[in-house]
Chain A
Amino acid sequence: MVRDYETVFILTPVLSEAQVKEAVKKFKDFLTSNGAEIVNEENWGLKKLAYPIQKKSTGFYNLFQFKAEGSIIDKFETELRRDERIIRFLNVKLDKYALAYSFKRKDRLSSASKEEK
């Protein structure tokens, strides 16, 4: 059954801009090659952590929203766990209210970025 999921993960701050892009691309390719459809992706940039993780106080936040079969989530999580660049991740299933909210949020973010330009 195809469901909606959302993943937030934090990459180590020691990476360069290009390395971050490459890591994000790796997971995106992993998802798409396993038959998932990426609905939305966000890059929040370098953010301060509320508490230190692995002795690091900052991290690159990234978000994926995707539609996928439930069976690939397990594989995706192992992949995330195996990667040393990832210091924390969170995978959640989205219900219908969350889905409606995510689209509203996307619209709000895109209109905000347009105004900046």
Chain B
Amino acid sequence: MAQNGEIRYLSPVAVDFKKKKYCRFKKNRIKYVDFKDPEFLKRFLNEQGKILPRRVTGTSLKYQRKVSTAVKRCRHIALLPYVTDMMK
């Protein structure tokens, strides 16, 4: 079977193919993160209302900073909670 030093598998090898993350602001050319839109900002929060890290959402540093200020402003005007459970 393996004539030229080539290894053959009976079943296809499971290569875990990871979907590449991208910055949604760069991709959609969004320049401003609105603090008045809690539904949009919820994408960057976990169930407890904490801001998700960049390594999870894939947001670039420039926009992560804007997201974090927007979330904090949104919390101040009581559109988003500071602490919660089961938000989604």
Q: Which residues of A contact B (CB under 8 A)?
A: 8, 10, 49-51, 53, 59, 61, 63, 88, 90, 92, 95, 97-98, 100-101, 105
Contact = CB atoms under 8 A, between A and B. Distances in A.
Contacts of B77: 8, 10, 61, 88, 90
B81 A50 contact: yes
Interface string B29-65: 0011011101000000000000000000000000000
A50 B32 contact: no
Given A8-B36, A100-B31, A101-B31, A49 B73 contact: no
Contact of A53 (B36, B78, B80, B84): B78
Given A97-B31, A98-B32, A10 B73 contact: no
A97 B32 contact: yes
Interface residues of B, number: 16
Interface of B: 31-32, 34-36, 38, 73, 75-82, 84
Contacts of B82: 51
Given A98-B32, A101-B31, 20 more contacts: A8-B36, A8-B77, A49-B78, A50-B38, A51-B78, A51-B81, A59-B78, A61-B77, A63-B36, A88-B76, A88-B77, A88-B78, A90-B76, A90-B77, A95-B32, A97-B31, A97-B32, A100-B31, A100-B32, A101-B34
Contacts of A101: 31-32, 34
